[in-house]
Amino acid sequence: MSDRIDIHLPETAEPLRDAIRRLRWFRQALDRQLDDLRAETGLSFAVDDRKLAQIFVNWLREVDAQKPKDASARRAYFDFVSGLMLRDLLREMPLQAGPLPPQADTTQPEYFWPEGFALTLFCLNVRAAVIEQEFNAETTLAPEFFSLRQWWTFKENVTQDSATAIGFFDVFAGNHPDWQMPDSFRHRLNAVLIEQAKAARLTE
């Protein structure tokens, strides 16, 4: 798998930031991700639609509750809500993977934790598509995304505290994770502003 993110989402006449707020498009996007992963790896998945719908509703509620008023925070917010989506998906887990294919190498993340891998890749792909459309910027996967050791730690930590999924999402996306309060956008934004101020002082 390349470090380039292959964006393959359903077509929509709306901006992706709006389309992702519609359950039907969200479900189609997840289906397409699972189909692509099945073709590439031989993995198969069953989706609990009822559970997925409830996850989606709860995610939207929190997205709206934490939405910043400052337009300059939009990029950081898109990163945050993508990680928030992963947190909610992993916490409730609407996927069930089928038996591993005969050629499966469990030292590869996709076979080590199929459900977690599929949902993480889905959230990364959605984030990449939105960022490309909104900011005309490409994204890549960080080297940690391909590290089995990272996935071991990821799975273990998420089992104990689902909020850590946001921090690991940031790691995989190549961002600086907030491990103290990962599911608070205000805390994240304050940390970003502090880092920007430090960088500005270094260039003076």
- Which pLDDT tens digit goes with each residue over 18-44? 999 999 999 999 999 999 999 999 999
Q: How far is CA 186 from CA 66, 68, 161, 190, in A?
A: 8, 8, 20, 6
Answer whether residue 2 is part of any domain: no
Mean per-residue pLDDT, 175-186: 90
Answer whether residue 124 is part of any domain: yes
Answer whether residue 139 is part of any domain: yes
Tokens linked to 129: 């598509």
Answer whether residue 11 is part of any domain: no
- Among 73, 118, 68, CA closest to 93: 118
Q: How far is CA 107 from CA 111, 114, 148, in A?
A: 7, 12, 6
Query: What predicted TM-score, i.e. pTM, was given to this entire model?
Result: 0.91
Identify which has the larger pLDDT, 71 or 177: 177
8 Å CB contact between 155 and 84: no
Answer whether residue 10 is part of any domain: no
Q: Is 96 helix (H, G, I), strand (E, B) or coil?
A: strand
Tokens linked to 187: 């805390």
Quote the pLDDT of residue 81.
Answer: 96
Is residue 1 pLDDT above 70, yes or no?
Answer: no
Mean per-residue pLDDT, 37-52: 97
Strands (E), the chain: 45-47, 95-97
Question: How many domains does one find in the chain?
Answer: 1
Answer whether residue 4 is part of any domain: no
Answer whether residue 118 is part of any domain: yes
Mean per-residue pLDDT, 144-172: 97
Answer whether residue 154 is part of any domain: yes
Domain range for 75 is 16-203
Distance CA 38, CA 170 (A): 25
The band of 187, judged by pLDDT with boundaries at 50, 70 and 90, is confident
Place of tokens 């005969």: 102
